[in-house]
Each structure stands twice: as C-alpha cells, then as structure tokens.
Amino acid sequence: MEGRYADIVLVGPSNAYDDKKLRRYIIETVLLSLGGPVLILPENSSLEQINHVVLGWDASGEARRAARELLLIAQTKARVDVVLVDPEPTPEGHGPAPGSDIARHLARHDFAVEVHREVSGGLSVSDVLEQFALENGADLIAIGGYAHSRVREIFLGGVTRDLIEDARVPVLLAR
C-alpha cells in the first residue's frame, strides 16, 4: 500500500529475506499493480550517486519508461551506456540504427551517451547486461521490467526474473 505514495520502491538483497518468493512478489506487485519503479540493491552494495548507468535497451515501452526514470535519479552529466543485445533493425522497434534514437534523446538531457550493440554469444540478455555493467564499472542497470508477459517469464524465464533473483549490480526496473 505504501508504494502508492512513493516515487521509487527500494528492495534489499535476496539474502535479507527469509522468504525469497515474498521478495519477488513485492517487486512484481509494485511493477505490475502500482506501476512505479523499483530499485533493487544486491548484497554488499551501496548507491550514493548514480554517475554511470547501463540502460538495457530493446525499444519497448517498458525500456522507454526505464530511460525516463533514470532521467530523474542519475546525476547531471552522468555517463549512460545504452546496451542492445542482438538488436534487429525493424520499423516498429529499433529503426534503421538501433539505439541511436534513445541516445539522442538522453544526450538532449545532458548525459554522456554511448551506444553498444552486444552479441549474446549464447549468454542470456541479463548475463550480457550484468557482465557489461561489471566490466565497465556501472553504478546501476536500468531496464524495463516484464516487457514479455508475466506468465511467459514465469515458465520460460527472462531478463526481469534473472535480475530480480541474481543481480550483482543495483537494478532499476520500470514498467
């Protein structure tokens, strides 16, 4: 209920919960029912300032909302690495130059933006994003949560579920 009146809901690491299903339920409820962003902190992390963000970009409405939320919480002139995993140019999605449109938008907000088109090479999208964030010293990963249906993610897995369970870098989820 309190999430209705919060700008962002902070969720601690999974080891702080005796019931892991309760933690996932809280995150899913905030995202799917309240529509607010969730900031997930992994074990042994602190997040004082956000100077470097990895934005997982797939041109979905959820990813767009994650970009909008990071505008509100990242430091002025923060570095934003827009990371696309195996992007396919399509008229209804990425367009002819995947990542260029969101990069231009973020640069207009005075962020230092760079687009990275990564090949998964058999890794999951969540692994690629997290590995990129760790290797580049990012403070935060921002993604759109549950771009696919919740039922699909429950049965087949997905980026959201993977990062909820195992993130080693703070994660901002928006829907």
DSSP 8-state secondary structure symbol assigned to residue 21: H
Q: Are strands 112-118 and 79-85 parallel, antiparallel or unpaired?
A: parallel
Answer yes or no: are the C-beta atoms of 62 and 144 closer than 8 Å: yes
- The pLDDT tens digits of the residues spanning 113-170 come to 999 999 999 999 999 999 999 999 999 999 998 755 555 455 445 788 888 888 899 9
Q: Lowest mean pLDDT of 3-7, 53-57, 83-87, 123-127, name the range.
A: 3-7
> So what's the pLDDT on residue 154?
52
Of 62, 5, 6, 1, residue with least CA distance to 39: 6
Averaged over 3-27, what is the pLDDT? 87
Instruction: For CA atoms 50, 46, 144, 38, give the dihedral sign.
Output: negative
- Taking the whole predicted model, whether its pTM rises above 0.85 is answered as yes
